[in-house]
A and B are shown apart, each in its own frame.
Chain A
Amino acid sequence: TQTVSQSDAHVTVFEGDSVELRCNYSYGGSIYLSWYIQHHGRGLQFLLKYYSGNPVVQGVNGFEAEFSKSDSSFHLRKASVHWSDSAVYFCAVNNNRIFFGDGTQLVVKP
């Protein structure tokens, strides 16, 4: 059984701060790991994904994520957040079926 755990339901930071949104997964085989963003009242949009190679992957709008096999993690980071980054972020594990975490709501205060 694949599981995706996002330990923080809510994260609040100030504009210009760095942020890390955590994701841990459990799966024994080869998988793709992804992050999606959902702005209020809209559908999910793809941010980035990892399958193999360089464990640090770059996404849109300055986001990056780092894969760690030893920690079974795929944390999302941004060095300097903007108020427009306020949204819900979903981590996902995909291998023909896609499993989503419960999401982390990021609030960026001015």
Chain B
Amino acid sequence: EAAVTQSPRNKVAVTGGKVTLSCNQTNNHNNMYWYRQDTGHGLRLIHYSYGAGSTEKGDIPDGYKASRPSQENFSLILELATPSQTSVYFCASGDWGGSQNTLYFGAGTRLSVL
């Protein structure tokens, strides 16, 4: 069974602080993604990666950085957290082609920025 693990599951941060959300996958997938989910906006893509060492901007990258140090790990970094970044964040992994084209999601991280 494909597995994507996010940590922490819940986080309270202060405005202006640095926040790092971590994601680990045991699927050996090349592609990994970070989404945020807000009421009324569905899922919005922040950053994604095609493999170790690569990061790409998604649809709403401003205020976020990403890091993919290895095949298994993909982090989302908020250098200066703001209340507008209060949301639920989901990490996913997946590969394309053939019988793939399925994303596997983590359980989510609920972030509150006060």
Q: Find residues 27-45 in chain B having any chain A CB closer than 8 Å to their own CB.
A: 33, 40-43, 45
Interface residue SS majority, chain A:
strand
The answer to whether residues A46 and B102 also contact, given A90-B42, A102-B41, A103-B42 and a CB cut-off of 8 A, is yes
In the bound complex, residues from chain A placing their C-beta under 8 Å from that of B92 are 43-44
B103 within 8 A of A: yes
**B1 CB to closest chain A CB, in angstroms?**
11
Q: A34-B101, A94-B96, A94-B101 are in contact. Are A43 and B41 (CB under 8 A)?
A: no
B interface: dominant SS: strand
Measured between C-beta atoms, what is the minimum distance from A45 to chain B in Å? 7
Contacts of B96 in A (CB 8 A): 94, 96
A34 & B105 in contact (Cβ 8 Å cutoff): no
- B interface residue numbers (CB < 8 A to A): 4, 33, 40-43, 45, 90, 92, 94, 96, 101-108
